[in-house]
Amino acid sequence: MRYAAFLFGVFLLAALPAAAQLVDPTVTINDKFSERIDIGISTNEIAITSDFSGADITVFGAIDGADELLLATFAYDVVVALEGPRKPTTVRRKERVAGIWINRHSIQFGPIPASYSMSSTRPLADIANLMELASRDIGINNIRLVPTGSIGDGSRLTEFRDALRRIKQVGGLYQRDPTGVQFISKALFRATVRLPANIPVGQHTVRAVLYKNSQFVMEKEIPLRVVKTGLEQFIYNFAHVYSLAYGIVAVLLATLTGWLGSVIFRKD
């Protein structure tokens, strides 16, 4: 049962001034080109409800000032990525010691996106060269993983990085869809990015990058907040802000449940 939240927001050029009030876009532009990319989502907040089991969000966008001929020959490529909040992350490696598998080595990485969901018009390798993609942190394999603290002799660093990416992908936190961005008319595109059920809450970023004939044209970012709602939010805040009261409530609830159980089912 997958609850899909389709958030529509078609931002045509005329609607753009209004959109600018909603979100605060961050823009990087390559001045060589005159084309511009714009994206929009209908909300800047995703709510996690108690039955949340993942969601799809749809990002709409347009290429402004696109050359008709180049559009027809698919010279433009778009990558849309939803990046989760950045968190310091530790990777640990188990080793067999006296017959038991225990965590022996660990490498800490500086803040990396806790989740990363990416869609593109084509596989990344066909869009631009590796150097270009890596310089902009585009793609699961290009997310910068900078170790902080001790890395030993450094010989294992690659293994640890690969393991981190693999585990994030297996757990659904890092995903990619090489055909997730589709042109719906000449200059208008739609991108679907998937939010996993275990999506971290916090400040996420929707990044859209435009390439023309493998050359970087422009990047635009808009923030997207993922929040717990209602009871979940209340419980989480309560547990963190009033932790003593929370603990006491947890105990009272348990006492009450246990007492009710013994009263309801009492036979003597």
Would you tell me which residues interact with other proteins (CB under 8 A)? 1, 48-53, 87-96, 99-103, 106, 112, 114, 160, 163-164, 166-168, 170, 197-198, 200-201, 228, 231-233, 235-236, 239-240, 243-244, 246-251, 253-255, 257-262, 265-266, 268
Packed helices 230-241 and 243-264: angle between N→C axes, nearest 10 degrees: 120
* Secondary structure class of 267 (helix, strand, coil): coil
Residue type, 213: N
Residue with Cβ nearer other proteins (193 or 199): 199
Residue with Cβ nearer other proteins (20 or 245): 245
Least spacing, CB of residue 234 vs other proteins, in Å: 8
- What are the residues facing 119 on neighbouring strands? 80, 177
Residue with Cβ nearer other proteins (26 or 49): 49
Could you list the beta-strand ranges (E) of the chain.
Answer: 26-29, 36-40, 45-48, 55-64, 76-83, 86-97, 100-113, 116-120, 147-148, 174-177, 181-183, 188-195, 202-212, 215-228
Residue with Cβ nearer other proteins (33 or 236): 236
Least spacing, CB of residue 207 vs other proteins, in Å: 20
Least spacing, CB of residue 162 vs other proteins, in Å: 9
Residue with Cβ nearer other proteins (6 or 238): 238
- Cβ atoms of residues 194 and 173 within 8 Å: no
Residue with Cβ nearer other proteins (76 or 174): 174
**Which H/E stretch holds residue 170?**
helix 157-170
Least spacing, CB of residue 84 vs other proteins, in Å: 10
Phi first, then psi: what are they for 45, rounded to 5°? -145, 130
Write the DSSP symbol of residue 180. -
Least spacing, CB of residue 43 vs other proteins, in Å: 19
Least spacing, CB of residue 63 vs other proteins, in Å: 35
Residue with Cβ nearer other proteins (70 or 249): 249
**DSSP string covering 64-133, please?**
ET--HHHHHTT-EEEEEEEE--EEEEEEEEEEEETTEEEEEEEEEEEEEES-EEEEESS-HHHHS-HHHH
Query: What's the CA gap between 82 and 138, in Å, rounded?
Result: 11
Least spacing, CB of residue 57 vs other proteins, in Å: 17
Q: How many whole angstroms from its chain centre is CA 43?
A: 16
